[in-house]
């Protein structure tokens, strides 16, 4: 694990030493805010909930994460430093996990940046009173915000982000072009995500399969406060398969 953390630290340094993280993360926060407030008007909905924020957060992860992961291996291939890395006493699994972990830290930072929405709903949803318990206490007892769906929704977003980051890592491992890695990752990611929006148009014999393969279907359960084992297995399987593809790509390069 020491090698994994060393690679992750190196990769995080590369992220925050370049303008990438400082551009992509704020752009994500702005897009989520603009769409959640403009199209769904979160604060005029009449209910205290984060369903619209979770919806747009998931949508824009499809754009954010390929931009984060596109450089992981593609840049190493382009500069020739990947050849040096694969000759070091570091296993391909450690190399992939280290870079994946660094990408997940950036994803977690982006998701944490949206915590302003539940905090704002806590403040605005708490009735004004001249007396009684302190405001901080009443925010958690009188605001009307259900913390179960909030916690499971953010957990679902983290799982979606993990699956998309794994897909992006695999895409970056098979090409030396960051643009190709970005387009490949976003192409592979977008179909299982948007397929959930068209379940009503699917033939009945395909409905069960398409539904189970849909990111939106499984994430929808989490955003409603339902942490089901099927969603955990699904996202875990996507992450495992995509990272296995990345490891296989590196092994082929070492053997070649």
Q: For 29-38, 76-85, 99-108, 202-211, which range has the lowest pLDDT when averaged over its residues? A: 76-85
C-beta of residue 98 within 8 angstroms of C-beta of residue 7: yes
What is the Cα Rg of the chain in Å? Answer: 20
The HSE-up count of residue 186 (CA atoms within 13 Å, CB side) is: 17
Indicate if the pLDDT at residue 97 is higher than 80: yes
pLDDT digits (tens, 9 = 90+) for 118-138: 877 777 666 666 666 665 655
Report domain extents, the chain: 2-255
Q: What angle do CA 171, 176, 181 make, to 5 degrees?
A: 30
The HSE-up count of residue 148 (CA atoms within 13 Å, CB side) is: 5
pLDDT digits (tens, 9 = 90+) for 221-234: 888 888 888 889 99
Cβ count within 10 A of residue 108: 15
pLDDT value at position 36? Answer: 79
Q: How far apart are CA 72 and CA 8, in angstroms?
A: 11
Range 187-202 burial, b when 16+ CB lie within 10 A, else e = ebbbebbebbeeeeee
Q: Indicate left, alpha or beta for 80 from its phi (over 0: left) and psi (-120 to 50: alpha).
A: left
Q: How far apart are CA 227 and CA 215, in angstroms?
A: 14
Q: What is this structure's pTM?
A: 0.87
Q: How far apart are CA 2 and CA 5, in angstroms?
A: 5
pLDDT digits (tens, 9 = 90+) for 153-197: 999 999 999 999 999 999 998 888 899 999 999 999 888 877 766
List of residues 6+ apart from 18 with CB closer than 8 A: none
Q: How far apart are CA 87 and CA 210, in angstroms?
A: 42
Indicate if the pLDDT at residue 240 is higher than 60: yes
Indicate if the pLDDT at residue 49 is higher than 70: no
Indicate if the pLDDT at residue 252 is higher than 80: no
């Amino acid at each position: 694990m020491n090698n994994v953390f060393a690679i992750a630290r190196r990769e995080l340094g590369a992220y925050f030493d370049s303008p990438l993280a400082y551009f992509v993360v704020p752009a994500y926060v702005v897009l989520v805010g603009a769409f959640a407030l403009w199209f769904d008007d979160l604060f005029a909905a009449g209910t205290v909930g984060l369903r619209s924020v979770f919806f747009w957060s998931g949508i824009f992860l499809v754009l954010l994460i390929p931009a984060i992961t596109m450089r992981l291996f593609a840049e190493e291939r382009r500069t020739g430093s990947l050849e040096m890395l694969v000759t070091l006493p570091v296993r391909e699994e450690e190399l992939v996990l280290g870079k994946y972990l660094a990408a997940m830290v950036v994803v977690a930072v982006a998701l944490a940046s949206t915590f302003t929405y539940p905090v704002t709903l806590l403040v605005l949803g708490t009735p004004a009173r001249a007396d009684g318990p302190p405001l901080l206490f009443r925010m958690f007892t009188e605001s009307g915000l259900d913390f179960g769906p909030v916690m499971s929704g953010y957990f679902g977003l983290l799982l979606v982000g993990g699956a998309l980051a794994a897909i992006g890592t695999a895409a970056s491992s098979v090409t030396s072009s960051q643009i190709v890695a970005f387009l490949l990752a976003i192409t592979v990611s977008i179909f299982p995500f948007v397929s959930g929006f068209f379940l009503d148009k699917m033939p009945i014999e395909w409905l069960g399969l398409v539904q189970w393969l849909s990111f939106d279907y499984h994430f929808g359960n989490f955003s409603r406060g339902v942490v089901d084992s099927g969603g955990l297995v699904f996202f875990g399987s996507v992450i495992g398969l995509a990272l296995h593809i990345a490891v296989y790509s590196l092994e082929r390069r070492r053997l070649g």
